[in-house]
Amino acid sequence: MRRRLTVAILILIAVTLVLTTIGSYFFIRRAAVSTTQQELAGQARAISTTFSNGNVNKKTFRRELDVIATAGAFDGVGFIRLEPGDTYRGTMPAGITIGELDVPALQAGHQVTGHTSTLLAYSAVPTPTTVVTGFVPILVITRQIHNPANGLRYFLLVGVVALAVAALVAAALARR
């Protein structure tokens, strides 16, 4: 009888730990995605404002993009030309395709932010300038979201310690 009670308590605690770990992973991952997307949206608007003010000329354009990519720790920074008829020219940052962007929203002048299944967050913002006509320049930036699975080892360590303590408590309770 003692052994069954001890095993039942341990199984209950193990199931609770597994469910808690899975739930924690889901919510931490969701928070990481949301936070990264919000940061990228703000950074994309700021960069877009810099370029739309006309402070950058063709000679310094590429150098400015390189500085921004390095300073912002972006995985990709680039401009594409969104032309009439839903066509575009230019190179998208690695890991993202035009199909993942909401082209009608971009054409309407709205910012688009999201993430891919590989946890690559992106933000695309129309960047109108006074010298460009005939197409809409779109700034696209990307950043890899850190997967919370890297912290799963700590959950497992805490789970093993909690299970060991629970085993001691369960054995003591079963003796009574």
HEC string for 67-132? HHHHHCCCCEEEEEEEECCCEEECCCCCCCCHHHCCHHHHHCCCCEEEECCCCEEEEEEECCCCCC
User: At 143, is the secondary structure helix, strand, or coil?
Assistant: strand
Mean pLDDT of all residues in 75-98: 84
Give the pLDDT confidence score for residue 20 in this predicted structure. 83
pLDDT in tens, 138-174: 899 999 988 777 667 777 787 788 878 877 877 777 7
Cβ atoms of 142 and 76 within 8 Å: the answer is yes
pLDDT at 22: 83
pLDDT given for residue 125 in this prediction: 93
Judged against a pLDDT cut of 90, whether residue 40 lies above it is answered with: yes
Residue 41, pLDDT > 90, answer: yes
CB atoms within 10 A of CB 23: 10
